[in-house]
Amino acid sequence: MKKPEKKDKLQELLHGELGMEILLSTNYSRLQQKILQLIFLIVKQTKVSLEDKLIVENAISVWVGICLYKSELFDEFLSFKSGESTA
């Protein structure tokens, strides 16, 4: 018999009450701001490493997922400000 992998156990946990609790208690607006800030900080660098590119790729995947779950976040995205002056 095949031994269950850790990934399978995590998926099983998240499909239950714990997963729903996480979905309902997450501040998606704040999560989006953190994701966009992370992407901004990496992309503005003059030299971007492979690891940084993977971080951006995964951050965008998470961001798309939360926008699909909470479509009203897209309006917040359109008004995103990095917090840095461009002057």
Burial of 28 (0-12, 13-18, 19+ CB in 10 A): middle
Encode pLDDT of 23-76 as tens digits: 889 999 999 999 999 999 999 999 999 999 999 999 999 999 999 989 899 888
The pLDDT mean for the chain works out to 85
Does the predicted TM-score (pTM) go above 0.85?
Answer: no
Nearest to 73 by CA among 35, 34, 28: 28
Nearest to 75 by CA among 39, 29, 41: 29
Q: Which amino acid is at 73?
A: L
Encode pLDDT of 8-37 as tens digits: 777 787 788 888 888 889 999 999 999 999
Q: How many CB atoms lie within 10 A of CB 12?
A: 12
- Residue % of the chain over a pLDDT of 90: 51
